[in-house]
Chain A
């Protein structure tokens, strides 16, 4: 019995429901349907939610939920078709329909615009009403929806009603029998509005936004995968019109032909489109429309814009229009991560300008003996300080042009650095392409290495006087930047060593600190190997200083009272570290005999040699008289009986020459050949030294007969007792051989260079092969080229020749011909 009672209890309670008066679907539905209509006509306040809900609940419990669903669907359909649709189509003026058919837009734009706004207003209102009412109806029918959602086969009533709105309002024909639907009119109206906005009108954005969000809220179908109407219909149309618009816009802007305008308007368009997507259309369209803009407006035109005659990038670069360049850059960056169009023009311009600099430096160099005026004109750009110095001591014209060249390049570099930083936003890609362009034209100048070295030489000699440390630093850094561009670093090294040796031996260097700074900078830039020999040169100098001091004290100890002591300051140079031409005692294959020193000096030489070799046995000293200087005290017996003494600072050769005259009775003279024979000074040097002694008015210690501007072998020289100078100390410089090499020297250098490179190449090849034992020809070539690239770019045929030579000398052997392979012979 207990069980029975329990079972009675577990029965669906019907108490609440049984109280219902009616239990019949039709009567319940009648109440519900009239109420739903009330909701649509906005009379909900008279309705009780509970009653409607309860009715729907009952219908569902009666298992008539599906009928209810269908009935509501039909009610909504009728309502939309009969009431809403009419309201909408009525709001579409005939002008809108006409505009749809014909394409003459701009004619009655004002009229069409007003009509369009009215239409969109009505549509927007209908949509909002529908959403609100359906929200309420869905709430009322929630119980039914819960049933529906359990079997998942049917969409909720809300979704269905949205679909009905799409079908019976948006897809309804605007006029009976017209193929044009409300959605078509909406689409064309919105596009029309946007086209108005694009030409500068102000339009009702929020209204459009509402209509667009309606399209976003509706789907092609009730299925899960249904696409938004916005995406399936409106957006493609919008993209299409945008494409057309920007094609035309591109043409129009190009016709104007001003790059700056193009950039400005393009940037404006970009912001406009972004703003439009944000405020009028949908965010998801932004990337798509910007892509259209990028493609149609920018990508297709950027090349032409960049090249525009008179206003393009070249114009901007020449007039330093940083703003313009920046907008070109950002536009180009939008469509091309490499910014090729821009880079091309920039690079072209750099090379053009660089070539101009190269050309002008050649012009200067070729103007053999320019007049002072011409020189001034050329140097207009150089600093005044330099000019001042020039006057007091004329600098070789070619040196000047070399420095001019470097300065010009640095100026150009500074200009492009600014452009790069400020307009190109320090873009990595552009930086390297700019660098490549610089390297390109710098290496077009065959003398770039020499010029750069001269630049350093000049600056280290005197340029840095009166400059602060940081100024020096910047100066050197600038030079180093250029060094970076130079391909043949070994050539530069050669020149640098040559110039450095002169600075060191002739004590022309302004600051040892600056020199060291320079070396450390080079070390950072090009590497240890590069500066090794330069550093060795410095080391020789310091060692020599000590040596001199030691020797002095040695002499002092073992002083020979008979002799007048001759002070000796000596530099012992390691022959391999110093430039070849200094160390060379051969010329053109002929062994040059050492110069014959006067007796006193010869004694001194021997004494030092003894001293030195005692300390370092096994070494060989070879004396380079060409690089030394000497202070001599000369007594001039004037014809009026007065005696004038001067201390004269001369080169070692000059000293040797002058001492010859010590042994010569007054009034006697020596011929050029006699001097040459008695000193064995190389002819070149002899001529230069004699020029200084006999031809330069201020320092004419020797008299030459006949008087002419040239030194001829038959000329005779005698001591000039009438030498006049306001100073007690007179310095007689050697007429400097052109600092910039003449053609012959150049050939010489190149030849030496080639030899040295040959050695480097061989060394590299042997290094590689020793390690790899066996390599194909092409592999060996690549490796060799990579290894050497930090120093110079070797000629391929040269490398091949070297390989041949190594095979001949049995360092390598051919292992096979196909592909050509080499082996290392241990």
Chain B
């Protein structure tokens, strides 16, 4: 579907939810950035599709929300906190650890 230079990538959760977002946004995650590194030629880099077996759709959605939040407040002073539901915070912490973000 996509080559390694495509502008958008697809993130897939373990329960099958798909999120399509700009490559640069997804690369806020260190793990995803490595995954998509065109120099390495892993299958994800070639297809632009990352299946994240460790993340559920709910968490991944929040992760994607964070990516956009981060992008939006990149160089801004006094960044407001992103709303994190208490019931998700531990899982998000784990996901952040996994995704290195």
Contacts and interface: CB of A to CB of B under 8 A. Distances in A.
Interface of A: 9-13, 15-17, 19, 44-51, 53-54, 57, 132, 135-136, 139-140, 142-143, 146
A54 B94 contact: no
Contacts of A15: 56, 91
B40 A135 contact: yes
A16 B40 contact: no
Contacts of B40: 44, 49, 135-136, 139
Contacts of B37: 139
A47 B91 contact: no
B90 to A, nearest CB: 5
Given A9-B87, A9-B90, A15-B56, A46 B43 contact: yes
Interface stretch (B18-26, B27-35, B66-74, B76-84): B27-35
B98 interface: yes
A10 B14 CA distance: 23
Nearest to A6: B86
A47 B39 contact: no
Given A45-B46, A49-B42, A50-B53, 18 more contacts: A9-B86, A11-B90, A15-B56, A15-B91, A17-B54, A44-B41, A45-B41, A46-B43, A48-B42, A50-B51, A50-B52, A53-B35, A54-B54, A135-B40, A136-B40, A139-B34, A140-B34, A146-B100
Contact of B53 (A46, A47, A51): A51
A47 B90 CA distance: 30
A47 B45 CA distance: 10
18 contacts: A11-B90, A15-B56, A16-B91, A17-B54, A44-B43, A45-B42, A45-B43, A48-B43, A49-B42, A49-B43, A49-B44, A50-B44, A139-B34, A139-B35, A139-B37, A142-B34, A142-B100, A143-B100
A6 to B, nearest CB: 10
A51 B44 CA distance: 10
A794 B20 CA distance: 99
Contacts of A54: 53-54
B42 A19 contact: no
B63 interface: no
B46 A50 contact: no
Nearest to A14: B94
> Which residue among A11, A19, A48, A136 has the maximum number of chain B CB atoms within 10 Å of its CB?
A48
Nearest to B92: A13
Given A9-B87, A142-B30, A16 B53 contact: yes
Nearest to A137: B40
A53 B43 contact: no
A47 B43 contact: yes
B64 interface: no
A57 B59 CA distance: 18
B55 interface: yes
Contacts of B30: 142
B43 A16 contact: no
Contacts of A17: 54
Interface of B: 14, 30-31, 34-35, 37, 39-46, 50-56, 59, 86-87, 90-91, 94, 98, 100
A16 B44 contact: no
A19 B14 contact: yes
A143 B37 CA distance: 17
B53 to A, nearest CB: 6
Contacts of B94: 12-13, 16
Contacts of A9: 86-87, 90
Contacts of A50: 35, 44, 50-53
A136 B56 contact: no
A10 B94 CA distance: 12
Contacts of B41: 44-45
Contact of B51 (A16, A48, A136, A143): A48
Contacts of A51: 53
A53 B31 contact: yes
Contacts, number: 76
> Which residue among B54, B56, B98 has the maximum number of chain A CB atoms within 10 Å of its CB?
B54
A733 B51 CA distance: 122
Given A16-B56, A19-B14, A49-B34, A135 B39 contact: yes
Nearest to B59: A16
A27 B87 CA distance: 33
B66 to A, nearest CB: 17
A139 to B, nearest CB: 4
> Which residue among A16, A17, A44, A146 has the maximum number of chain B CB atoms within 10 Å of its CB?
A16
A168 to B, nearest CB: 24
A12 B98 CA distance: 13
A12 B39 CA distance: 35
Contacts of A46: 43
A54 B44 CA distance: 14
Contacts of A45: 41-43, 46
Nearest to B93: A13
Nearest to A42: B41
B90 A57 contact: no
The 8 closest A-B CB pairs, nearest first, are: A16-B54, A139-B34, A49-B42, A49-B35, A136-B40, A13-B91, A44-B41, A49-B44
A10 B87 CA distance: 9
A142 B35 CA distance: 11
A37 to B, nearest CB: 15
A326 B57 CA distance: 78
Contact of B55 (A16, A44, A132, A136): A16
A71 to B, nearest CB: 21
A806 B90 CA distance: 106
A140 B35 CA distance: 8
Contacts of A143: 98, 100
B91 A10 contact: no
A359 B74 CA distance: 87
B51 A57 contact: no
Contacts of B100: 142-143, 146
Nearest to A17: B54
A9 B86 CA distance: 10
B44 A48 contact: yes
A119 to B, nearest CB: 27
Contact of A136 (B42, B52, B53, B98): B42
A27 B52 CA distance: 20
Contacts of A49: 34-35, 40, 42-45, 50
Contacts of B14: 16, 19
B45 A10 contact: no
Contacts of A13: 90-91, 94
A15 B34 CA distance: 24
Nearest to B45: A49
A691 B54 CA distance: 131
A46 B46 CA distance: 10
A31 to B, nearest CB: 13
A135 B35 CA distance: 12
Given A16-B94, A53-B35, A44 B42 contact: yes
A49 B48 CA distance: 12
A146 B98 CA distance: 11
Contacts of A132: 39
> Which residue among A11, A17, A50, A139 has the maximum number of chain B CB atoms within 10 Å of its CB?
A50
Contacts of B34: 49, 139-140, 142
Contacts of B52: 50
A57 B97 CA distance: 10
A53 to B, nearest CB: 6
Contacts of B59: 16
A148 to B, nearest CB: 14
Contacts of A146: 100
Contacts of A139: 34-35, 37, 40
